[in-house]
């Protein structure tokens, strides 16, 4: 079968690497992809939010399945678009795939609000008694009440722009007056544009974070390997937040007892809640959790896989990813069970100098041709190819994932490979997995 994967980051390179291993996958297209995905399939220059052009591409190239990497097309309704404008499958393909039309893996726009609207996600959790920080939601209409609520609230206090704000919409504040200033700027001065017209104000939870990945067909689910990512730019988790500087899987503190609590208190109520509310959700639910004492609380939902978590989850997933995607589309995930590689997989992300602030692009990347042993994988993120050279084209440039019998072994193996790669301004954290080493 022919598959189209939407996206261009390290997540998509890891997914493309995994999809390509499936005997079910004939031609893999990635739109728009990066210099790394070009080694797994064919990159196509399409905008991931230009749904009519994507549909035309599917018709012209006999595509049987679309997998959506990032949240933006989902929140903007790519699944809804293809529901209203289905791409028919040939009689043979329909019989073989046991599907009527080309499926798009991901939730519809309504379900994608789990990520696209923090207020929607919090209300969903409240309806289904899923543990999360206590909160209230405010906008221009109840602004004064919000100010009063903040004034009385314990510190630190967390302010969240309701909508998508490129990972920047969460503020954690230690001072009431500053919190009120930020709250005002979010609602009255559109600090995060329309995204902060509504603000969720919530209690600060103190603990250690992890990412849990659920693949659901709206009725059944499977759990993929969990991971922990390292969001801060600086060693020892200091400095500004980034998209993610590295990840480890499995997460040593997520033992069987804790994961059972996650399943019972979070995963099952989430999937049952989607079904009860008749939300058409056939895709990934990324649950951002925090372990407070021995108990899991939900910090956020995302309607997609994590990046760079996918770069450690895919290497540890033993199942055929295409089979899992088809089972999702057919609502047959109940028949699947996930097998995980027992080893650790750790990834270290190399970024452009200046990131997550301003940075330059177009730097030549050296050392990509080095021999890499079979325990290590190199995934591209912000890269592009030009006249045979691979150039940087984003803040997060590439990451190196290694397997190991310990976090330390895996991280060291990745750092060894990174030592042979260079581009002007290149930076990476040397302490990924430090708590477990
Ligand atoms: P989010 O965009 O919701 O993932 O928030 C970004 C980051 O802010 C999270 O990864 C957490 O580190 C932190 N965060 C968000 N909400 C809370 C909370 N209620 N308590 C403590 N930290 C939080
Ligand atoms: N690594 C966090 C995220 O993908 O949102």
> Domains (ranges, CATH) in the chain?
2-107 (3.40.50.20), 140-197 (3.30.1490.20)
> What pTM was computed for the model?
0.96
CB 123 within 8 A of CB 129: no
> Distance, CA 51 to ligand 2 centroid (Å)?
24
Atom of ligand 2 nearest to the CA of 306: 4
Q: Give the pLDDT score at 276.
A: 97
- Which ligand number lies closest to the CA of residue 227? 2
Which residues approach ligand 1 with their CB closer than 6 A? 133, 158, 170, 172, 202, 204-205, 209, 231, 288, 299-300
- CA 238, distance to chain mean position in Å, is 22
Q: Give the pLDDT score at 167.
A: 76
Residue nearest to atom 3 of ligand 2 (CA): 306
Q: Give the pLDDT score at 372.
A: 85
Residue pLDDT, tens place only, 380-397: 999 999 999 999 999 999
Q: Give the pLDDT score at 324.
A: 98
302 touches ligand 2 (CB under 6 Å): yes
Residue ranges of the chain with per-residue pLDDT less than 70: none
Termini Cα distance of the chain: 43
- CA 185, distance to chain mean position in Å, is 28
Distances from the Cα of 261 to the Cα of 130, 255, 267, 291, 338, angstroms: 11, 10, 9, 11, 19
Residue pLDDT, tens place only, 268-313: 999 999 999 999 999 999 999 999 999 999 999 999 999 999 999 9
Q: What are phi and psi of 146, to 5 degrees?
A: -60, -45
């Amino acid at each position: 079968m022919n598959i189209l994967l939407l996206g261009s980051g390290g997540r998509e390179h890891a997914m493309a690497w995994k999809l390509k291993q499936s005997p079910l996958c004939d031609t893999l297209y990635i739109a728009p992809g990066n210099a790394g995905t070009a080694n797994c399939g064919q990159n196509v220059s399409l905008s991931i939010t230009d749904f009519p052009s994507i549909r035309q591409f599917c018709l012209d190239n006999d595509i049987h399945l679309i997998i959506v990497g990032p949240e933006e097309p989902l929140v903007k309704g790519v699944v809804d678009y293809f529901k209203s404008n289905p791409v028919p499958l040939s009689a043979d393909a329909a019989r073989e795939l046991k599907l009527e039309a080309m499926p798009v893996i991901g939730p519809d726009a309504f379900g994608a609000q789990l990520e696209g609207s923090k207020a929607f996600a919090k209300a969903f959790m409240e309806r289904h008694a899923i543990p999360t920080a206590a909160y209230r939601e405010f906008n221009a209409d109840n602004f004064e009440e919000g100010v009063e609520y903040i004034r009385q609230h314990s510190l630190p206090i967390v302010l969240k722009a309701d909508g998508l704000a490129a990972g920047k919409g969460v503020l954690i504040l230690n001072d009431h007056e500053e919190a009120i200033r930020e709250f005002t700027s979010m609602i009255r001065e559109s600090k995060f544009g329309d995204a902060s017209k509504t603000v969720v104000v919530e209690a600060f939870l103190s603990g250690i974070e992890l990412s849990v990945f659920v693949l659901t067909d709206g009725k059944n689910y499977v759990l993929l390997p969990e991971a922990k990512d390292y969001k801060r730019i600086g060693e020892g988790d200091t400095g500004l937040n980034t998209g993610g500087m590295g990840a480890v899987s499995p997460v040593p503190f997520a033992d069987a007892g804790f994961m059972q609590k996650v399943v019972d208190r979070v995963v099952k109520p989430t999937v049952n809640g989607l079904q009860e509310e008749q939300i058409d959700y056939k895709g990934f639910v990324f649950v951002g959790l925090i372990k407070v004492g021995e108990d899991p609380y939900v910090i956020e939902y995302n309607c997609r896989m994590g990046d760079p978590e996918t770069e450690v989850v895919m290497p540890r997933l033993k199942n055929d990813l295409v089979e899992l995607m088809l089972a999702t589309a057919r609502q047959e995930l109940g028949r699947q069970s996930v097998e995980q590689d027992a080893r650790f997989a750790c990834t270290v992300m190399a970024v452009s100098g200046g990131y997550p602030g301003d940075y330059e692009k177009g730097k030549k990347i050296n050392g990509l041709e080095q021999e890499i042993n079979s325990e290590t994988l190199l995934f591209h993120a912000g890269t592009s190819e030009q006249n045979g050279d691979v150039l940087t084209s984003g803040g997060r440039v590439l990451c190196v994932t290694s397997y190991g019998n310990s976090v330390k072994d895996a991280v060291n193996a990745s750092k060894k490979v990174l030592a042979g790669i260079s581009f002007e301004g290149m930076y990476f954290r040397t302490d990924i997995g430090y708590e477990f080493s």
